[in-house]
Amino acid sequence: MNGRITIELGGVLTPLTFGMLAIEEFGNRQANGGIGWSKLITDLIYSGYCNDEIVEGYNPRKSYREIAESVGELISVRSSVLGDVYKCFEESKAGEQLVSIVKKKVEVQPEKPKQKKKRTGTTLKDSPLES
């Protein structure tokens, strides 16, 4: 795959390229908030789409909304294409770099120590409110 895949979105064959431009676009989209699988895969596909259009010398002709609607259809029918897209991204040079950076950050994050609740020796019966 080498960072390139062509998928059908809204009945149109759409090439995706996962290079550094896609990583930058993906990072910008993720910074805008929202989490969850549908946002993640939509951002990923849109990023690959924009990267491919720019590399081919075009300004992206499809809007994010158009891509999102087409991805929504793929999600609703549980299309295996979405897994193929993620695999293509993960196996691309840019995707491998991003995944390794994320893994390093996760490994470096120290666990927060659990705080024990302080025992005061009082109960609700001892409360002045219980009279």
pLDDT at res. 64: 92
In a domain, 72, yes or no: yes
d(CA 71, CA 30): 17
pLDDT at res. 124: 53
In a domain, 42, yes or no: yes
The number of distinct structural domains making up the chain is 1
In a domain, 115, yes or no: no
pLDDT, one tens digit per residue, over 20-34 is 777 777 777 767 665
- Average pLDDT over the chain, rounded to whole? 79
pLDDT at res. 70: 92
pLDDT at res. 57: 94
pLDDT at res. 50: 93
Tell me which residue range forms the domain holding 44: 4-108
pLDDT at res. 52: 93
In a domain, 123, yes or no: no
In a domain, 119, yes or no: no
pLDDT at res. 96: 80
In a domain, 69, yes or no: yes
pLDDT at res. 23: 75
The parts of the chain modelled with pLDDT lower than 70 are: 1, 30, 32-35, 101-131
pLDDT at res. 41: 86
In a domain, 85, yes or no: yes
Residues 59-94: b if buried by 16+ CB within 10 A, e if exposed: ebebeeebbbebbeebeeeeeeebeebbebbeebeb
In a domain, 121, yes or no: no
